Structure 1
């Protein structure tokens, strides 16, 4: 039986793609600093949560870059680390948001909106740079999907800023932060579960059992229907 991944001709081993990935890592790292400082200054939990998302993406893309061409054992251990990091992010965002519920200071909606627009532009630049590589293997495709989903997330923060401005209350900001904490927790579970399955599969392959095609874990969930499509093509 031929593996579905045999049809994925691009695996990331291209100097141009690697340079683009380095640029996107730099963009995400800079936006983490900008959003975290702005989030603290504006007292916005949503901005701080989105800043942590940029940090998570910076680490995730760096690990994806490092994992290109590596063995399954390296990728699974890296994925477990990413899953644990996302769990810590979820706990921090949830705890700090609950604290803010009892200290209801309304965030600065103008700062929230301005920074959310800047973050959206940064992620759209990443999406456009990765567009030609969106149909690569699972590791490569996941990077593009993360950037695309993050751009959507920035629009959610922008909507929250509009809600804060319209209602003159912090509730839209706090609700958005809790939603993002839930997404962090969901991603942590999916990454950890996939890493454990891949580790078991690699152990079976070492004992002479056919290893199923591996999909390197990333900081974002796989595109719905991707696994089903692979199964149908096998």
Structure 2
């Protein structure tokens, strides 16, 4: 009996730590979405816009993850499936923006790109550090970790694009980096979707049959 109680206390302690981490990362990403989206529109940067959409997707993801912290593995798998869909939609949105920039070319402001990619890198690096300890706890937290890692990669990519725009005075580095981010988002979406579908199948196989 004591062992059972200790196990329940340990689980609740773990969930409490997960909630605190998700609350902090949710707040960071919600703020960064507004800041970076405004900078992307002002600076005419598709790569920076992709970065901001990633922050928006993460803010929604962390909110959903917070909701299912105390729920069963099936609920967590369904939310992870939804997260994968959000990542995929973000990739589609950035792809549409790339097409729009190809039709109506505009050289982005590399100063804005560089400054706000550094700001985003600091914010998302903090999130990644906070989530590191939770990355293998369950599918809910592992999918959150996946999103946060994407953010850091996106920030570094946008910073590289800013440097290339400064060197060349042209828009193509911004579009190339944005295209790379689309591929990263698609890859991440596929990983999350496959993991969540596998988790749902595993949960379904463990349910007692109607005849038993």
| Coarse TM-score class (shorter-chain normalised) | 0.7 to 0.9
Distance 2:197 2:132 in 1: 30
Q: Is the 8 A contact 2:76 2:140 kept in 1?
A: no
Cα distance change on mapping 1:146 and 1:99 into 2, 3 Å: closer
Distance 1:83 1:69 in 2: 20
Q: Could you say which residue in structure 2 is the equivalent of 1:23?
A: 24
Q: Could you say which residue in structure 2 is the equivalent of 1:222?
A: none
Q: Could you say which residue in structure 1 is the equivalent of 2:111?
A: 110
Cα distance change on mapping 1:99 and 1:196 into 2, 3 Å: same
Q: Is the 8 A contact 2:80 2:143 kept in 1?
A: no
Displacement of 1:95 after TM fit? 1.5
Q: Could you say which residue in structure 2 is the equivalent of 1:211?
A: none
Alignment RMSD: 2.4
Cα distance change on mapping 1:78 and 1:15 into 2, 3 Å: closer
Distance 2:14 2:48 in 1: 35
| Unpaired stretches in structure 2, ≥5 consecutive residues | 1-9
Cα distance change on mapping 1:185 and 1:21 into 2, 3 Å: same
Q: Could you say which residue in structure 2 is the equivalent of 1:207?
A: 208
Cα distance change on mapping 1:193 and 1:101 into 2, 3 Å: same
Q: Could you say which residue in structure 2 is the equivalent of 1:49?
A: 50
Displacement of 1:47 after TM fit? 0.5
Residue 97, structure 1, aligned to residue 98, structure 2 = yes
The TM-score with structure 2 as length reference comes to 0.83
How many pairs were matched up?
Answer: 200
Distance 2:38 2:116 in 1: 10
Q: Could you say which residue in structure 2 is the equivalent of 1:194?
A: 195
1:142-157 map, 5 Å: 142-144=143-145, 146-157=147-158
Q: Could you say which residue in structure 1 is the equivalent of 2:68?
A: 67
Displacement of 1:142 after TM fit? 4.9
| Unpaired stretches in structure 1, ≥5 consecutive residues | 1-8, 209-234
| 1:112-160 per-position Cα deviation (integer Å, ceiling 9, x unaligned) | 0010010011112223434555564554455445434422321111010
Structure having the higher helix fraction is 2
The TM-score with structure 1 as length reference comes to 0.76
Distance 2:207 2:172 in 1: 53
